[in-house]
């Protein structure tokens, strides 16, 4: 049965490649993957983020995804600023470790839309190179059974094509951000990935291409009391005939807020339609944030997975440059 599954996945690869893109349950914790317009869009000067996801360990060899990013804001002016960043993604799936290694440069510009600095509109784009690969040596076939045992020296008689190829990939997006003098904020936007629909064919004769992916999201933050905020969120993604709808709500309890720093605890739950129920726990401590989530599988794969889906970690660290206050009035000589 395992050998037949290997052959089935290889035969179905063009369809899988067209549908499968890396994704995180904590999508708001991977801002550059969500939308390149979010580069440099944070309270600070430099930001480091990292995300790790492992899923389907109860069914097969785990699918593992890692993302690391660095972004910054610069050339700040009264009416807007630029953002730039670097995004690295790695994804490996199954016995053959079929996956992708990708590096992107991200650029953005944010414009202030009103005088009281509460409304902003950002545009961004990312571009880079990616390598998709597969390790055929990890697969076994019926032809390699010598009558008594599996013999890797035997020819598998399969025309499996290239073990890797590289391609150029690009994306663009727009983000709208509102922040009130209180604690009400909202991020909403849309992003378009794989604008150039790059080829994903391992076989030279194949014409498989990676379809354009569209994402629409909204993440408001609503003050309920002096110590508690409610953060609902929504994400809809569509790629060719495949779609994903996520929605949920997170509560934030503020432990301490002083001198521009906040320490807080988060608990949340969300639903990825027809796929998983996601539970989240996270914390803020000054400029550091860490989060953990777990997917409980609710799809048709539940009999095989026993409901176990996957776990995910996220972390972020922001660096701020503090500028000393300038003396705007002359000090009276009497007090010198």
Domain assignment of residue 74, yes or no: yes
Look up the CATH number of the domain holding residue 16: 2.40.160.40
Q: What are 256-287's pLDDT values in tens digits?
A: 987 777 899 999 999 999 999 999 999 999 89
Contact by Cβ (8 Å): 62, 54: yes
CB-CB contact of 80 with 112 (8 Å): yes
Flag whether 143 is in a domain.
Answer: yes
Average pLDDT value for residue range 39-64: 87
Write the CB contacts of 101 (distance below 8 Å, at least 6 apart in sequence): 89, 90, 130, 131, 133
Whether this prediction's pTM lies above 0.95 is answered by: no
State the DSSP string of 236-296.
Answer: EEEETTEEEEEEEEEEEEEEEEETTEEEEEEEEEEEETTTEEEEEEEEEETTEEEEEEEEE
Task: Name the helix (H) or strand (E) containing 15.
Answer: helix 13-19
Asked if residue 197 belongs to a domain, the reply is yes
* Structural tokens at position 63: 């699918």
Q: How many residues does the chain have?
A: 336
- pLDDT tens digits for 71-116? 999 877 778 999 999 999 999 887 777 889 999 999 999 999 998 8
**pLDDT tops 60 at residue 226:** yes
Q: Copy the structure tokens of residue 159.
A: 């025309």
Which pLDDT score, from 0 to 100, does residue 144 have?
A: 74
Q: Could you tell me if residue 187 is inside a domain?
A: yes
Residue 206 structural domain: 2-322
Mention every residue, 6+ apart, whose C-beta is less than 8 A from residue 118.
Answer: 178, 179, 180, 181
Task: Look at residue 12 and tell me whether its pLDDT is greater than 60.
Answer: no
- Residue 312 placed within a domain: yes
- Transcribe 61-92 into DSSP letters: SPEEEEEEEEEEEEEEETTEEEEEEEEEEEEE
In-domain check, residue 335: no
Q: How many distinct structural domains can be found in the chain?
A: 1
- What tokens appear for 64 in the block? 């593992």
Q: Output the CA torsion 12→18→24→28 (10° steps).
A: -170
Q: What is the pLDDT of residues 294-331, one digit of tens each?
A: 999 888 776 667 777 789 999 999 998 865 444 444 44
How high is the mean pLDDT of the chain? 85
State the pLDDT confidence band at 189, using cuts at 50, 70 and 90: very high
| In a domain? residue 43 | yes
Give the three-state DSSP class for 124.
strand
Tokens representing 68 are: 């690391």
Round to whole Å and give the CA distance between 295 and 246: 12
Q: Does some domain include residue 333?
A: no
């Amino acid at each position: 049965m395992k050998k037949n599954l290997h052959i089935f996945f290889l035969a179905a690869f063009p369809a899988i490649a067209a549908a499968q893109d890396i994704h995180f349950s904590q999508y708001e914790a991977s801002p550059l993957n969500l939308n390149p317009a979010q580069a440099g869009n944070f309270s600070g000067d430099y930001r480091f983020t990292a995300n790790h996801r492992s899923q389907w360990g109860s069914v097969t060899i785990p699918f593992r995804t890692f993302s690391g990013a660095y972004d910054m804001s610069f050339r700040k002016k009264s009416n807007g600023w630029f953002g730039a960043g670097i995004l690295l993604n790695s994804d490996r799936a199954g016995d053959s470790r079929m996956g992708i290694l990708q590096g992107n440069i991200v650029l953005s510009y944010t414009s202030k839309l009103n005088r009281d600095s509460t409304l902003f509109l950002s545009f961004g784009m990312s571009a880079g190179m990616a390598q998709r690969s597969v390790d055929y040596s990890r697969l076994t076939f019926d032809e390699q059974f010598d009558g008594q045992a599996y013999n890797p020296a035997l020819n598998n008689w399969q025309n499996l094509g290239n073990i890797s190829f590289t391609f150029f990939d690009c994306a663009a997006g727009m983000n709208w951000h509102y922040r009130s003098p209180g604690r009400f904020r909202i991020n909403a936007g849309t992003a378009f990935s794989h604008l150039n629909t790059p080829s994903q064919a391992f076989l030279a004769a194949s014409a498989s291409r990676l379809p354009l992916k569209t994402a629409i999201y909204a993440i408001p933050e609503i003050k309920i009391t002096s110590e508690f905020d409610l953060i609902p969120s929504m994400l809809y993604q569509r790629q060719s005939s495949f779609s994903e709808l996520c929605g949920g709500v997170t509560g934030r309890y503020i432990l301490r807020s002083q001198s521009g720093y906040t320490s807080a605890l988060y608990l949340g739950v969300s639903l990825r339609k027809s796929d998983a129920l996601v539970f989240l726990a996270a914390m803020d401590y000054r400029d550091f944030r860490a989060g953990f989530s777990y997917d409980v599988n609710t799809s048709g794969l539940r009999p095989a997975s026993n409901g176990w889906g996957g776990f995910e970690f996220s972390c972020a660290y922001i660096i701020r440059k503090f500028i000393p206050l300038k003396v705007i009035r002359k000090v009276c000589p009497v007090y010198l």
